[in-house]
Structure 1
Amino acid sequence: MQFTPTQKRAAAWMAIAFLGLLALRALGPVLTPFIIACVLAYALTPLVDRLDALWRGRMPRILAVVIVELLLVVVLLSLSLLVVPVLLKELPLMREQIPVLFDRLHDRLSPWLAQFGVRISLDLASLRAQLMEYLQTNWSDSFGSVWSSLKIGGSVALMVIFNVLLVPVALFYLLLDWKRLVARVLELVPPRARPGVDSFTSEADQVLGQYLRGQLLVMLTMAAFYSGGLALFGLELALPIGVFTGLAMFVPYVGFGIGLILALLAGLLEFGSAKAFLMVGLVYGTGQVFEGFFLTPRLVGERIGLHPLAVIFALLAFGQLFGFVGVLVALPASAVLLVAIRRARSGYFASKLYHS
């Protein structure tokens, strides 16, 4: 059986893609900091270019890269510090409010069960005592066990620290030479295929850019919405929980669910049952309707085509195949696959096979 040149080229590209996937899976732990840096470089390169354009080339690109990277570090540190107030506030509240919550549960559950003739012996006092004893355990013992674990897994801890330090270094060089690296990669494309590849990459870049910009606006808007709504109910941790919920919405439904659980837990510890459920129901219910029916369609748009369920499936599938590295490349790969599917669909409808 004779193969045409087009079929041979297609088979060669499929073999290259397959080998690339195998290499990505085998070298996942090594490639993780570089892939993180590549994703960040793709997102931050337009900002560096705008700084260059703002100063009309008078600012050295290396200075623009340093400014952008410092801003990124400040933002990431600020977001990380949002978790600290939640832990510092909720752990003491948990130790104080758990006995009260158990007493309320016992007083309300026992008469309600008695109406149905159900007699269940709930030793809530013993359970409460055991839980309080666990929460009031000497913290030094916990830190000692953590320290011993760190000593045992010292090589793992050093590898994590090394990767964390490697990401900003790799990001610096990628931001500095991003356009040059992209041009070098495109030089490998044969001249005959260059127009098609340029058109394909341009469309994929447009789809991914529109999604990322729209999703960022949705996250910031919903972070302000949830923070304001929780603050109206007087929740002391309204700002960190609201901001976390909004920013965690980058992973559809999962981030929203985690934020809802945090808000409900904080509300139960601070207010009790009735007001906590009312607060979570109103704020998060209204927020979900506002985001799903108004905000996302307007800011992200149906024309982009990255449906939330498709994003969830991509994250799970790539994570299962390639681990943490797969999660990092899931969104860019989904945008590229979306463009490829669109073009294959258009080619099929225009082909003789469809009209025969």
Structure 2
Amino acid sequence: MNVKISDTQKILFLVSAVIFFYIVYILAPILTPFLVAGVFAYLGDPIVDKLEDLRFTRTASVFVVFLIFIILILSFVFIIFPLIQNQISHLLKKIPSIIDWIYIEVSPWLSQTFSLESNAINLDNIKQSLIQHWESFGSFFGTFLLKIFSSAQLLIIWLSYALLIPIVTFYLLRDWDILITKISQLIPRKHISVITKLSYECNAVLAEFFRGQLIVISVQSVFYSSALWFIGLEFSLLIGLIAGIVSFIPYLGVLVGIVIASIAAFLQFHEILPVIYVFIVFGAGQILEGMILTPLLIGERIGLHPIAVIFAVMAGAQLLGLFGMIIALPVAAIILVLLKYYHKQYLKSDLYNL
């Protein structure tokens, strides 16, 4: 028997939805650790399911996934982070010699070419200031962190996040299948087949996206760092990581990498040939990404045009800042799945066949 929904019930449902989203907006700062835990649980659930297929219990599988996460985090903290820190420290130490080279080589050329006065910028003062105070640059992050953790309120927030996220992630991972079942039971039976189909499509797109992007970023970071190290460029690890991480935005990773690496190569070697090597490295990286990695690992399941990707990232940054940039592409992929469905429905509708 079909139950007819009255206009009053429709209005009540709409008002309830508005109130719900308003409450979510108000509680956004509190919801942050729960959202982060939800993302971790979503990413970890396929691994837990695979371990369950190997006759692990659900709880034991969750512990194994937690162990993997901890190993990855500790590897970054104790291996990658010190290397990056050393390269940043080395960069700060080289600033005075870079100023020297600019003063000796670049300044006379600028004076002759553009008729600039040699004393327009007092490079000696800049150099002396950097020599005397470069240590303060190195200790900047330590001082910054000290100020952060000296604030009782911020300290409580960080500690609460550090405690809440693992705990919530554990329980979400353990009960993920139960939660999905409970949610599916709330869906109106009339729409269950359509919503289930769309949910599976969205999940497939997101899984493909996250898995593919993670591998692409990792391979690109390793490739750029190794190739730049091979041509003798200092700060190769730092530049390679930056270019690899930013590569999830089409063409931005290679553009940022070329600019930074070219400047670093020219300042280090004072020749054009190393800059040409940099262009060759990033050209090869772009070929690797465009012709092998992206088609093989991500393929056309995402279906997002590069312009749509750039727009989505910019829109996410405008709406939610850094967090918006992070979630922009997954949200855009889900929207694309929904648009494809409604496009098919539109083609079957009477409106289209008028």
TM range (shorter): 0.7 to 0.9
Using the TM superposition, give the Cα deviation of residue 43 of structure 1 relative to its aligned residue in structure 2, in angstroms: 1.4
The residue matched to 2:115 in structure 1 has which SS? coil
Equivalent position of 2:177 in the other structure:
179
Equivalent position of 1:215 in the other structure:
213
Instruction: Tell me which amino acid in the other structure corresponds to 1:86.
Output: I
Query: Which of 101, 109, 114 is residue 106 of structure 2 equivalent to?
Result: 109
Structure 1 pair 195/102, CA: closer, same or farther in 2 (3 Å)? same
Q: Is the CA contact 1:222–1:246 (under 8 Å) kept in the aligned structure 2?
A: yes
The residue matched to 2:175 in structure 1 has which SS? helix
Equivalent position of 1:40 in the other structure:
40
Equivalent position of 1:159 in the other structure:
157
The residue matched to 1:82 in structure 2 has which SS? helix
Report Cα offsets for 1:155-198 as digits up to 9, x if no partner.
11320232123111111111101010011111111111111111
Q: Is the CA contact 1:32–1:324 (under 8 Å) kept in the aligned structure 2?
A: no
Point out which structure has higher relative CO (alpha carbons under 8 A, 6+ apart): 1
Equivalent position of 1:338 in the other structure:
336
Q: Is the CA contact 1:34–1:167 (under 8 Å) kept in the aligned structure 2?
A: yes
Equivalent position of 2:27 in the other structure:
27
- Structure 1 runs of 4+ aligned residues shifted over 6 Å read 6-14, 138-142
Instruction: Tell me which amino acid in the other structure corresponds to 2:101.
Output: R
- Distance, in Å, in 2 between the alignment partners of 1:79 and 1:137 is 25
Using the TM superposition, give the Cα deviation of residue 242 of structure 1 relative to its aligned residue in structure 2, in angstroms: 3.0
Please give the TM-score of this superposition, normalised by the length of structure 2: 0.83
- Distance, in Å, in 2 between the alignment partners of 1:165 and 1:272 is 50
Larger mean Cα displacement after TM superposition, 109-118 or 119-128:
109-118
Equivalent position of 1:74 in the other structure:
71
Please give the TM-score of this superposition, normalised by the length of structure 1: 0.82
Q: Is the CA contact 1:28–1:322 (under 8 Å) kept in the aligned structure 2?
A: no
Equivalent position of 2:134 in the other structure:
135
- Distance, in Å, in 2 between the alignment partners of 1:90 and 1:273 is 23
Structure 1 pair 46/7, CA: closer, same or farther in 2 (3 Å)? farther
Equivalent position of 1:227 in the other structure:
225
Using the TM superposition, give the Cα deviation of residue 118 of structure 1 relative to its aligned residue in structure 2, in angstroms: 0.4
Using the TM superposition, give the Cα deviation of residue 351 of structure 1 relative to its aligned residue in structure 2, in angstroms: 1.2
Q: Is the CA contact 1:245–1:256 (under 8 Å) kept in the aligned structure 2?
A: yes
Q: Is the CA contact 2:41–2:173 (under 8 Å) kept in the aligned structure 1?
A: yes
Structure 1 pair 78/275, CA: closer, same or farther in 2 (3 Å)? farther
Aligned counterparts, 1:269-284, within 5 A: 271=269, 274=272, 277-284=275-282
- Distance, in Å, in 2 between the alignment partners of 1:74 and 1:299 is 25
Q: Is the CA contact 1:315–1:330 (under 8 Å) kept in the aligned structure 2?
A: yes
Structure 1 pair 287/15, CA: closer, same or farther in 2 (3 Å)? farther
Give the superposed CA RMSD: 3.4
- Distance, in Å, in 2 between the alignment partners of 1:142 and 1:294 is 39
Larger mean Cα displacement after TM superposition, 224-233 or 256-265:
256-265
Using the TM superposition, give the Cα deviation of residue 117 of structure 1 relative to its aligned residue in structure 2, in angstroms: 6.3
User: How many residue pairs get matched?
Assistant: 348
Using the TM superposition, give the Cα deviation of residue 328 of structure 1 relative to its aligned residue in structure 2, in angstroms: 5.4
Equivalent position of 1:206 in the other structure:
204
Using the TM superposition, give the Cα deviation of residue 210 of structure 1 relative to its aligned residue in structure 2, in angstroms: 1.9
Structure 1 pair 273/197, CA: closer, same or farther in 2 (3 Å)? same
Structure 1 pair 254/52, CA: closer, same or farther in 2 (3 Å)? same
Report Cα offsets for 1:272-299 as digits up to 9, x if no partner.
5646634432222331243234432332
Using the TM superposition, give the Cα deviation of residue 104 of structure 1 relative to its aligned residue in structure 2, in angstroms: 1.7
Structure 1 pair 66/303, CA: closer, same or farther in 2 (3 Å)? closer
Q: Is the CA contact 1:245–1:258 (under 8 Å) kept in the aligned structure 2?
A: yes
Q: Is the CA contact 2:240–2:257 (under 8 Å) kept in the aligned structure 1?
A: yes
**Unpaired runs of at least 5, structure 2:** none
The residue matched to 2:194 in structure 1 has which SS? helix
